[in-house]
Structure 1
Amino acid sequence: MTTIPAPLRQRLTEGFGAPLERSWHATGGSINQAAAIEVGGERFFLKWNRDAPRGFFAAEVHGLQTLRAADAIRVPDTLEWEDQDGDCPAWLLMELIETPAARVDRQAFGRQLGEQLAALHQSVSPGDTFGLDRDNFIGALPQANPSATSWVAFLRDHRIGAQLDLARERGALRPDAIAQVERLMARLPDLLPDDDTPALLHGDLWSGNYMIGPGGAPVLIDPAVYRGHREIELAFTELFGGFPASMYEAYEAVWPLDPGYPERRLLYQVYPLLVHVNLFGGSYVKELKRAVAPYI
């Protein structure tokens, strides 16, 4: 059995009204621990975090529910969640997504993912602004989502600027790198087109945050949802790779990108790279400076 903390195991036993029959290892991402569990013949996915700030899993649940409401792409159902309580860590109980036993055609999967991602991005209503109706987290870091009508201002102040302030406080960047990012921020009005059309974004879309679900269908997990410009989401998917080429082809067939997007790709990777600098440091500083350099 995977070692689930005893206070959490007790809490689950009380909630189910029955003991856990078995548990086994599951991947919980880079910041959480996780297990698959079985109770009463049913299987669930459980993750927990002893260091999670208050509201951490509630924010994830809100993000998943927001994506589900768009009815564009599958996300797992969320069942129960709690903040840390004494010795019991914060935890989230979810639907267990069963991956196919048979080999999946990745190009066909990619086409479906691209079509559904485009539909997700289009899931906004007239009058929607950038931001969200609540703040949340990207990884373990806070992510503010105030309502804004200007994408340039939102990106500058609440994405790049917020993470740069955090990097400065933590001493994660040297003064020269900070100055380079500040020069980039000052140039954003000249670098980005006058396009204030929001899209509903997963917000943390790298290859570890999608799954191949039953029937080979795409499933999105671990979101950092907000309404932003869709190009930042596409740029994020290209930062670390791991997405089939067919995804991009299918996306463009549904909602073609602006021809100038390739020139902005590195710029839009600055935000996730700052997040990684603040979370992990190391080589991400070099990658950040490489992304900033063409624009200053």
Structure 2
Amino acid sequence: MTSDQYTFDDPRHRYPVISPEVQQQPEPGLQSAMTPVPDLGEATYRGTGRLTGRKALITGADSGIGAAVAIAFAREGADVTLSYLPEEEEDARHVVEQVEAAGRKAVAVPGDLTSASFCRELVARAVEGMGGLDAIVNVAGKQVWQPTIEEISDEQFEETFRTNVFAPFFIVKAALPHLAPGSTIVNTASLEAYVPAPDRLDYATTKGAINNFSKGLAQQLITRGIRVNVVAPGPTWTALQVTRGVDPETLPEFGSSESPMGRAAQPAEQAPAYVFLTSAESSFVAGETLNVNGGMVTP
């Protein structure tokens, strides 16, 4: 078992170098059916009360980074509303169990974030279920590998933007009336915002848009006492990778050939960045992009 996040050790070997077998699932995929199953920090994340009493809405909270964030937030003392697709119920149940085991409230709201009306409903149900809202974490994303621009359908391009860019816009706009000074918003960009992979053209474009959206929004909302920041993960082992998020034939080398760390990240390694940007420890941090990418140089 990996030590908790406060243990001093060599980061290159903190988690194993994985060499996943070639495997594919239809979108959106189930983490529980992956080999190996991503590590969400269930056995390792140790909370210290950094988010005591907070009320957080997290998208993509059924698996991967969003699920790891939900578990970490709960162990830090926050109630959590989990947003995910209905097809991901099996994975979401596991995360709900983890949140409740930490003694926090879990509000599960399945639905399609590409719908503006659902995003507004999601916010309303989060406020009702938790008795308020003071933290938003937008993680949900769509990523589909296509070798050339000609192979990206109009429908895929639009759905990628609606999931990755439109949904955070819809959610933040609906949530603002409920966010008091001290509230936080953390959006999710990617290494792809700086180093776009040519076979993930639409995805990379959305991540650049999220970065810019967040930096502009941060300047607007800091005048209301609301901080907006971004986490930009590098290669991380999640369900995106086995639902044609990357070229399936490259899975055995996923992350190990790209990162100076020599391996892909596990979702558990991304969660502390979101905790930091949501906690009062980062009170003077706004409009920042925190790159969690294993040492890949970005602007």
Q: Look at both structures and tell me which one has the larger radius of gyration over its CA atoms.
A: 1
| Larger RCO: 1 or 2 (CA < 8 Å, sep 6+) | 2
Greater percentage in strand: 1
Question: Structure 2-normalised TM-score?
Answer: 0.26
